[in-house]
Amino acid sequence: MFKQLDPLSSEAVEGQSWLSIVIKAAFIALVSFGGLAGGLAAVSPRFFFGLTEGITCPRGSEMVFEEWYDGESNQFRVSCLDPVNGEQRGRTLLALGVYLGMWFLACFYVALMVLLILRAVKTGKFQPVKRKNKPY
């Protein structure tokens, strides 16, 4: 069912260290996370930046998301409103960093799992269960 690897390819696949797999997954995530994050942030910025409220704003404060059109492009600002003294602190860069970091980690873990599964299949450590033909 699976293609047998020639000795040179088999040695290359089996010789992959964990570090090389992690580096490959990090590169794949680095190349791909920006498109996903940017596309989804353009579709619904209020929702996706709202996911970062627990990290961006201190406990007890509320996230305020402002969005406007300045004639050329859409702009946004994220700030945290302290209900006690009414002080508002700008947190746009922190919210953007947390949002992009969230997508980088998601892409990294997906790429890492795919690379580990491919390595297991190619080295023969993972074989599908062979079923006997039994009538149902």
Angle at 116 between CA 115 and CA 119, to 5 degrees: 85
Distance CA 25, CA 17 (A): 13
Token pair of 111, please? Answer: 């790429």
State the pLDDT confidence band at 23, using cuts at 50, 70 and 90.
very high
Task: Please give the average per-residue pLDDT across 81-99, as a whole number.
Answer: 85
Residue 26 DSSP label: H
Output 127 or 10, whichever has higher pLDDT: 127
- Domain boundaries, given as residue ranges, for the chain: 7-121
- Residue/partner pairs of 91-97 with CB below 8 Å, 24 or more apart: 91/56, 91/57, 91/63, 94/55, 94/56, 95/49, 95/52, 95/56, 95/63
Q: What is the pLDDT of residue 9?
A: 56
Phi first, then psi: give them for residue 134, nearest 5 degrees: -115, 140
Task: Please give the average per-residue pLDDT across 75-93, as a whole number.
Answer: 84
Q: What is the pLDDT of residue 108?
A: 97
On average, the pLDDT of the chain sits at 83
Q: What is the pLDDT of residue 1?
A: 44
Over 70: is that where the pLDDT of 5 sits? no
